[in-house]
Amino acid sequence: MTSDTQTPSLQALDYIPYLDDSGNLPEELQGKIGIYAIFNQEKTLQLVNYSRDIYLSLKQHLVRQPKSCYWVKVKTIERPNRTILETIRNAWIEENGMTPSGNGTDEAAWNQPIDAKLAMTDEEKSSYEKSDELMQIKLLKKIARRVESQILEELQTRGLQAEIRFNPKLKEQGLLDLK
């Protein structure tokens, strides 16, 4: 982790475990501005992104893509500067030799709220179509809670200790996003 403004080589940066031995995200990144690269268990690059709070962004990505978040490399900067961050992001992607799926085909899965509606069973879809608005909201909340439970269970098997709280208002729309 460095904090000067020159573009570091992605390869030159150290891998940081996404979750430490006690099941916590890298807390030293709380409130830090910078760019980060996320790697899967085999250390294959999954996403390069930047943030005003790297810790919160990493937490969000872990919830959205738990199977792909095992290692991270980070470059912090003192003040937000989109030009510098985009230059580094482009350099890291180029250094990788190909666009990671999180910056390409799977970008929405990494950066948008989880759409729990995709987990609807055929029975739930049928019930949803026949229901009034209030019953639809109740059904969407039920489905969102089921997907939330699956996500939390998976994160628990990874040993995650950080508190995960989803925005309750979004559940009414069948969406899951951290509060």
- State the pLDDT at residue 33: 96
- State the pLDDT at residue 6: 75
Distance between CA 64 and CA 179 in Å, rounded? 13
CATH of region 16-106 = 3.40.1440.10
Q: Residue for token digits 């229901």?
A: 131
Q: Percentage of the chain surpassing pLDDT 70? A: 97
Q: Residue for token digits 């199977």?
A: 67
Q: What is the pLDDT of residues 132-168, one digit of tens each?
A: 999 999 999 999 999 999 999 999 999 999 999 999 9
Q: What is the mean pLDDT of residues 96-110?
A: 97
Q: Which residues are CB-neighbours of 163 under 8 A, at least 6 positions away?
A: none
- State the pLDDT at residue 80: 87
Alpha helices, DSSP H only, in the chain?
54-64, 82-96, 107-111, 122-130, 133-157, 168-171
Q: What is the pLDDT of residues 54-94, one digit of tens each?
A: 999 999 999 999 999 999 999 999 988 999 999 999 999 99
CB 66 within 8 A of CB 59: no
Q: What is the pLDDT of residues 8-65, one digit of tens each?
A: 999 999 999 999 999 999 999 999 999 999 999 999 999 999 999 999 999 999 999 9
Question: Domain map of the chain by residue range?
Answer: 16-106, 114-176
Strand partners, 2: 75
Distance between CA 64 and CA 79 in Å, rounded? 27
CB 87 within 8 A of CB 60: no
- State the pLDDT at residue 2: 45
- Dig out the tokens for 50 from the structure: 């930047």
What's the whole-model pTM score? Answer: 0.91
Q: What is the pLDDT of residues 119-131, one digit of tens each?
A: 999 999 999 999 9
CB 131 within 8 A of CB 139: yes
Q: Which residues are CB-neighbours of 87 under 8 A, at least 6 positions away?
A: 7
Sign of the torsion formed by the C-alpha atoms of 82, 88, 92 and 93? positive
**What is the DSSP code (8-state) at residue 101?**
G
Question: Helix, strand, or coil here: 130?
Answer: helix
